[in-house]
Amino acid sequence: SAVISQKPSRDICQRGTSLTIQCQVDSQVTMMFWYRQQPGQSLTLIATANQGSEATYESGFVIDKFPISRPNLTFSTLTVSNMSPEDSSIYLCSVGTGGGQPQHFGDGTRLSIL
Partner 1 sequence: AQTVTQSQPEMSVQEAETVTLSCTYDTSENNYYLFWYKQPPSRQMILVIRQEAYKQQNATENRFSVNFQKAAKSFSLKISDSQLGDTAMYFCAFTLNYGGATNKLIFGTGTLLAVQP
Distance CA 27, CA 32 (A): 12
Q: Does 113 bind partner 1 (CB under 8 A)?
A: no
Q: How many residues bind partner 1 (CB under 8 A)?
A: 28
Segment 67 to 106, residues that bind partner 1, using CB under 8 A = 90, 92, 94-105
Contacts for 100-104: CB closer than 8 Å, 24+ residues apart: 103/31, 103/33, 104/1, 104/2, 104/4
Binding range to partner 1, per CB under 8 A, among 14-22, 25-33, 61-69, 70-78 = 25-33
- Strand 31-37 relative to strand 43-49, pairing: antiparallel
Where does this chain bind partner 1 (CB under 8 A)? 30-31, 33, 35, 41-45, 48, 58, 90, 92, 94-105, 107-108, 110
